[in-house]
Amino acid sequence: MKRRRDYQKKDFRNPYFNEKRGKKRRSLKFLLSCFFIVLFLGLYLGNTLDYFKIKNIEVRGNTTISQEGIRQIISEQLNNRRFLVFNQESLLFFSKHQARKMIIDDYLVEGVKINKNLFNTLIVEIKEKSYSVVWVIGPKKYYLDQDGIAVKEVGVDDFVIETGQEGTEIIRPLSLVESYPIVYDLANGTSPAVGDKIASKDLISFITNLSEFLTNNTDFEVSGYSILGPEQISMQTTEGWQVFFRTTNSVTQQVNRLLLILKEEVKDRSDLEYIDLRFAEKVFYK
């Protein structure tokens, strides 16, 4: 007679462990629920509490850029929402990256740094592009930076016009910081705008180096510089005479030749018209 085997499935799991696992799951769900509730309350309070609202906008580091212009950009952003929900009037949700981009798009600056200062204050630090020369094209005048880019159009109140010796017109910059070389571009027939690259970096470097060298080593006053063509500029003095330079030659060598000519051959400058230094070792004067 055959035996029947009992294939009934046995359950060897410990009910104690199942109960313990269930408690862990319930605890985890409870903690997650508490976390999201606290997060929601925090976001809600941060979005609505007057404690975090931006009430003061401080603009620092600007000398030519209007503070009101910067504040206007920030104020416009305060009226926008972030992620479609959060109010940017709150320090917690104000986007520094977005504000920085808007300022850089509207102004020619080297850098913008925005800090949130608890509580209620936003600090905008501007690093403006430094000016190297004043560039005159027809009736327009621009401040150019070291790269030859027009940073700002010169205002009427930025200069005073005087009359030098021999009736020479002298344009003097009115600046609290420094004066800049005045360059008349006689070879450019275009009408550039702020933000355009008007001159090469090498040309700006030549002019600024030349201006500094002349200021430190000569006893005459320069009224301005003129761009005559490729690689050629002239320097006008308040005494009425001028000097021609080649921008591809050494500033130091050309100025040293100028000083030598003035010392040894042109001791009386009252009748001097020009000195031409464009031809290397050959110097012409009249």
Residue 176 has what pLDDT? 37
**Predicted confidence band at 118 (pLDDT cuts at 50, 70, 90)?**
confident
Highest mean pLDDT among 46-60, 108-122, 145-159: 108-122
CA distance 98 to 115: 13
Task: Name which of 57-61, 197-201, 280-284 the model is least confident about.
Answer: 280-284
Q: What is the pLDDT of residue 177?
A: 34
Distances (CA, A) of 278 to 47, 109, 284: 68, 37, 9
Q: DSSP character for 165?
A: G
Question: Positive or negative, the Cα torsion across 22, 23, 26, 32?
Answer: negative
From CA 281, how far away is CA 279, in angstroms rounded? 6
Mean pLDDT along residues 133-141 = 89
The overall average pLDDT reported for the chain is: 81
The gap between the terminal CA atoms of the chain, to the nearest Å, is: 142
CA distance 95 to 93: 6
pTM over cut 0.95: no
123 vs 44 pLDDT, higher one: 123
Q: State residue 258's pLDDT score.
A: 93
- 156 and 173 Cβ atoms separated by less than 8 Å: no
Report the C-alpha gap between 171 and 158 in whole angstroms.
10
pLDDT at 157: 64
Q: How far is CA 168 from the centre of its chain?
A: 35
pLDDT of residue 153: 86
What average pLDDT does the segment 125-129 reach?
Answer: 91
Model confidence at 219: pLDDT above 70: yes
What's the average model confidence in pLDDT over 239-262? 93
Average pLDDT over residues 187-212: 91
- pLDDT of the residue at 26: 67
Residue percentage of the chain with pLDDT more than 70: 74
Model confidence at 49: pLDDT above 80: no
The more confidently predicted of residues 45 and 146 is 146
Specify the pairing of strand 133-137 against strand 140-144: antiparallel
Model confidence pLDDT, tens digit, residues 69-117: 999 999 999 888 777 667 888 888 888 999 999 999 888 888 999 998 8
Question: CA–CA distance from 80 to each of 1, 42, 93, 149, 284 (Å)?
Answer: 89, 20, 11, 33, 67
User: Which domains does the chain carry?
Assistant: 51-128 (3.10.20.310), 133-285 (3.40.50)
